[in-house]
Amino acid sequence: MSTIFSHGKLLLTSEYVVLDGALALAVPTKWGQEFFVDENPDGKSFVTWTALHQGKPWLKILIDYNQEEVLSTNIPESATFILKVLKEIKLVSKICLQSDTSYYITTDLQFPADYGLGSSSTLMNNLAQWAAIDAFDLNEKCLGGSGYDIAVAQAKSSIIYQNQPQRNVEKVMFDPSFKDDLLFIHLNEKQNSREGIQLYRSKEKSPELIDEFSLITQQVLQCKTLIEFSDLMNLHEKKLGNFLGIETVKEKYFENGPSFVKSLGAWGGDFIMTSKFSGFEDYFREKGFSTIYSYNQLIYC
């Protein structure tokens, strides 16, 4: 049995604008997705797919990859997507889905699906590793996006990422002295990133805007104190909120909070980042947000 693992991700800077070439900082999470596969040269062309979520099965699919047909499943919409991905792999891979061999594939997502930590990107990267194909290409054909999440999964490290004028991925040591003061809080819902991207795409952008966020990313990497970092996070939120024409997450939920509040990824859901203050646990729980992680609990260093 072959086993592959990809880390999840959090995008700390340049959400949305990373699509147009802004330099972005992203970090891997301790949680990710495991991928197990057995092969049986039995003269058939079946893929038996079992998807687990934190060890519990939620999706079962039987696919005939030669006929490109879902034979059975408990969730048709998910099965249709998996078939689409396997068809792409069959077209490109030189080693998988090319002969009459049955495959028994099991995936195990280690984090709640509504966390926004990369359930799709970790799957794309695992499949690409298995099939010995380009994960960025597979992700682009099946999902789209900037590709930073694929880069994090491959690097297994904090990275700075830029997708224009060409893709550039650089591993960095993002290990701030103030990391023990940082918190990650889930907003109790999964934001639809495609809706956020659609809003962003509808706005007219300038090269100066992209440069401003690239500069913030560079300054974040040079931060020595929590005060500097907090100021940059506040600046990032203000600039992006003004550009998108929507209120920041702090304005929406935490206007009276004493610390910065930074959206991570698509605005309106998933995780936020903030810093500790006296009584922070009671403050966030009273507002209905009780899923709170420290930096070391969530981030893979």
Cβ-count burial 3-33 (b if 16+ within 10 Å, e if not): ebbbbbbbbbbbbbbbbbbbbbbbbbbbbbb
pLDDT of 167: 96
- Looking at residue 17, the DSSP 8-state letter turns out to be G
pTM beyond 0.85: yes
pLDDT of 99: 83
Cβ-count burial 171-190 (b if 16+ within 10 Å, e if not): eeebebebeebbbbbbbeeb
Tell me the pairing of strands 102-109 and 46-53. parallel
For residue 269, the SS3 value is coil
Asked if residue 176 has a cis previous peptide bond (ω within 30° of 0), the answer is no
- Separation of alpha carbons 207 and 146, rounded Å: 17
* Residue 29, beta-bridge partner list: 299
- Separation of alpha carbons 94 and 223, rounded Å: 46
pLDDT of 134: 98
Sheet holding 182-186, edge to edge: 261-263, 271-275, 182-186, 292-294
pLDDT of 25: 98
Full set of structural domains in the chain with CATH: 2-171 (3.30.230.10), 179-298 (3.30.70.890)
Q: How many helices (H) and strands (E) does the chain have?
A: 10, 12
pLDDT of 193: 72
**Distances, alpha carbon 88 to alpha carbons 93, 100, 118, 217, in Å:** 8, 17, 20, 35
pLDDT of 114: 85
**What is the separation of C-alpha 151 from the centre of its chain, rounded to a whole number of angstroms?**
10
* Both structure tokens of 173: 């040591």
Return the number of other C-beta atoms located less than 10 Å from residue 86's C-beta.
23
CB 164 within 8 A of CB 21: yes
pLDDT of 216: 98
- Looking at residue 74, the DSSP 8-state letter turns out to be S
- Separation of alpha carbons 140 and 147, rounded Å: 8
Q: How big is the chain by its Cα radius of gyration, in Å?
A: 20
- Each residue's pLDDT, cut to its tens digit, for the chain (301 residues) gives 889 999 999 999 999 999 999 999 999 999 999 999 999 999 999 999 999 999 999 999 999 999 999 999 999 999 999 999 999 999 999 999 988 899 999 999 999 988 989 999 999 999 999 999 999 999 999 998 899 999 999 999 999 999 999 999 999 999 999 999 999 999 988 766 777 788 888 888 899 999 999 999 999 999 999 999 999 999 999 999 999 999 999 999 999 999 999 999 888 778 999 999 999 999 999 999 999 999 999 999 8
- DSSP assignment of 175-188 equals --TTGGGEEEEE-S
